[in-house]
Amino acid sequence: MPVAARVLATATALPACAVAGWLLAGLPLLLGGVFRPLPAFLLGLPVIAFLLWRSRPTVPETGWWGTAGVLAVAAGYAVFNGLMRGEQIVVRRDPATYAQYATWIAEHGSLPIPFQQAAFGGADPALVFGSPGFYESGGVVVPQFMPGPPMLLAAGRWLGGVDGLLLVPPILGALAILAFAGVVARLAGPRWAPPAALTLAVSLPIMYTGRSPFSELPALILLFGALSLLLDRRLGTAGLVFGLAIVVRIDGLRDVLPVLAFAGVLIALRAKGGVSFLAGLLAGTGLGLGSAWLLSKPYLTHLGASIRPLALIAAAVVVLTLIGTVAARRGVRLPRPAWLPAAGAVAVVLVMAGFALRPALQTVTRIPTNPDDALNSAFIRVTQIANGLAPEPYRLYYEDSLHWVFWYIGAPAVVLATLAAAVLTLRLLRGDGQSPDLPEQGPLRGLAGAWLLPLAMIGWTTVTTLWLPSITPDHPWASRRLVPLVVPGLILLGTWGLAWVYARHPRRWVAAAGSLLLVVPGAVTSIGTAFTPVERGEVAAVRGLCTAIGKNATVLIAERVTADRFTQVVRGMCGVPTARVRTNSTDFPPSTDVRRLAEKIKAAGRQPILLGARESDISLYGTPVHVVKLRDLQDERSLTTPPDGAWRLAIDVWLVKYS
């Protein structure tokens, strides 16, 4: 293999090997309570090297311009988003929850988080130790979410403190671009990898999730990295990496369902490596589900309403896969009507057309049936008013989901992706042999098999995500749902569609114009927010807060909003025991409870510190000091148009040293 192709192949295989290797080494350490820098790096680096050696990556022959183009896009992304990164460490939404989760395990190496009741003078019914993103469960605090992203962020924390942690998302974004470009190079050809990588890099969802801690970019790395490993015929490793997506994101269970069915197809056709592929998939999935049960059980309980249907679907896929595999091994073959290939291609077009027309046919609403739904409806109502819209708090805006995709990658990319999906579906259902403009790769050449699993995964996840995004519908927040497979999958298909057109009209202007149609629309949307960093100043604000609190303190938070935002921040980053004082129907606790708890803390030999959002919240207990006065910008919350700016953000904390 030429040097340029070897470099591209290795660079695009490395991201998945790096993320998977770190998770494989770190997860047992975290479960054992010894997730520390020395053992993590001593185990993680050899595992990463072994996975990369086992991957033996290959791509079709390419010149240096293709390799250099992909590397330049990834490097440019890392530098630009590193400069524009946010500092979301005060808990208001998921990024800060991930940051605080990572901070705790980086500092302590274990979970769960203890109450430290002795520092409060013992147990008391007025003490509340949980907060948003951190569940109070069985006498301890359990972080929300899967452990994969915090384990990756912890490496940055060890190497560079809080600033190192906040640089991990831009690095993960660059790795995601490399992993994606590897699949493009293998399926559409290396010449198309640079424009595809650039299209992904400038899309707002990828830019947004690369500036703050999220789970979606690690998931993208694992899913697309596993596809590259599969195309390189490293089936056992590919199956393992697919399964590890669940360690990063519980929704990974949905994303890998087509992978399970594909494993059954491999075994049914007696393809070489089919058994190892299934074994790797089961091992990775087992690690994901096991880590969820052992480290995130309250989170699973919280998601029960959505996890149970997904579990039933997964069980049905398992049963159908077993039945189909056994039947195929016994020589049973289903009839293939002559009309089926054309019907499949038409169905692809009709599904996308249906999503495009959905806003004219449906308005998606949800009547609140629990406190979380009621809180979400209240948030949507406030956001509607801020957007100048009529208050309709029960609306979810899910009918607009394909139009979100239009915003972020443009209508030309979606049209080309639909064309590609229709052509590929036609070929797969016809059972065509590998065509000249598809790479001669993959274990199922007789079924144009290089595209079988990618198309199944992209189609399944795109349809299920667009139908039910299951996220608060303000943007750019909701755009994260499109990151792991929808946006990169449609760009991949759109790039192949462009290559398909070019193969029939091989003129330079076709390639140039097509590439511009892919890159420009998403870039135009992103310009509105690309040069506006948000959530700045939080690191300095928290450092100042920790200095004001001191080391021999026990913190009581006597107001709800400050308790929601700062309970785990103070506990984890200031290193002092922290709890909120239980409230009833208001945002403030009874003063008798506050004074009783403060006296118990004094009796335990520690300094009681009281926190609130305003001077008046805690003025009953001493002389308040204004220790945090942060004025900055936050993400826009746009419901019906692409985000194109930022909103103001104010965070205040007042402190009293009780005496």
| Cα distance from N-terminal residue to C-terminal residue, the chain | 74
- Two structure tokens written together for 96: 């800060």
On the question of pLDDT at 430 being above 90, the answer is no
Q: Kindly state the DSSP code that residue 435 receives in the 8-state scheme.
A: P
**pLDDT value, residue 448:** 52
Q: Return the SS3 of 475.
A: strand
Which of residues 504, 530, 556 is at a domain's end? 530
164-186: average pLDDT: 97
- Two structure tokens written together for 484: 């792991």
In the chain, % of residues over pLDDT 70: 96
Cα–Cα distance measured from residue 499 to residue 502, given in angstroms and rounded to the nearest whole number: 5
Cα–Cα distance measured from residue 330 to residue 97, given in angstroms and rounded to the nearest whole number: 51
Task: Let me know whether 487 and 562 are in one domain.
Answer: no
Give me the number of domains the chain comprises.
2
- CB count within 10 Å of CB 328 equals 17
Residue type, 316: A
Which of residues 499, 530, 561 is at a domain's end? 530
Q: Which helix (H) or strand (E) holds 246?
A: helix 235-248
What's the angle, vertex CA 481, arms to CA 478 and CA 487, rounded to 5? 110
Task: Let me know whether 651 and 574 are in one domain.
Answer: yes
In a domain, 152, yes or no: no
In a domain, 337, yes or no: yes
On the question of pLDDT at 433 being above 50, the answer is no
Cα–Cα distance measured from residue 126 to residue 4, given in angstroms and rounded to the nearest whole number: 65
In a domain, 335, yes or no: yes
Which of residues 485, 513, 530 is at a domain's end? 530
Task: Let me know whether 225 and 124 are in one domain.
Answer: no
Task: Let me know whether 177 and 324 are in one domain.
Answer: yes
Task: Let me know whether 285 and 321 are in one domain.
Answer: yes
On the question of pLDDT at 483 being above 90, the answer is yes
Task: Let me know whether 278 and 196 are in one domain.
Answer: yes
In a domain, 419, yes or no: yes
Short-list 285, 281, 185, 178, CA closest to 231: 185
- CB count within 10 Å of CB 342 equals 14
Cα–Cα distance measured from residue 253 to residue 285, given in angstroms and rounded to the nearest whole number: 8
In a domain, 645, yes or no: yes
Task: Let me know whether 183 and 295 are in one domain.
Answer: yes
Phi, psi of 138 (to 5 degrees): 60, 35
Residue type, 218: P
On the question of pLDDT at 447 being above 60, the answer is no
Task: Let me know whether 521 and 598 are in one domain.
Answer: no
In a domain, 214, yes or no: yes
Cα–Cα distance measured from residue 381 to residue 66, given in angstroms and rounded to the nearest whole number: 48
Which string of DSSP letters, residue by residue, matches 366-392? ----SHHHHHHHHHHHHHHHHTTPPP-
SS (H, E, C) 626-645: EEEEEEEEEECCECCCCCCC
In the chain, % of residues over pLDDT 90: 81
In a domain, 390, yes or no: no
In a domain, 485, yes or no: yes
628-633: average pLDDT: 96
85-102: average pLDDT: 97
Please provide the average confidence, as pLDDT, over all residues in the chain.
92
| pTM (2 d.p.) | 0.94
Residue type, 241: V
On the question of pLDDT at 394 being above 50, the answer is yes
**pLDDT value, residue 257:** 92
Short-list 490, 418, 408, 406, CA closest to 454: 490
Q: Are 619 and 655 in contact (CB under 8 A)?
A: no
Task: Let me know whether 413 and 518 are in one domain.
Answer: yes
Short-list 61, 64, 84, CA closest to 72: 64
Of the pLDDT bands very low, low, confident and very high (cuts 50, 70, 90), residue 273 is: confident
Task: Let me know whether 177 and 28 are in one domain.
Answer: yes
Q: Before 476, cis peptide (omega within 30)? A: yes
Of 554 and 54, which is predicted with more confidence? 554
Task: Let me know whether 626 and 573 are in one domain.
Answer: yes
What's the domain range around 134?
Answer: 112-144+534-657
Residue type, 486: V
Task: Let me know whether 176 and 132 are in one domain.
Answer: no
Of the pLDDT bands very low, low, confident and very high (cuts 50, 70, 90), residue 4 is: confident
399-417: average pLDDT: 97
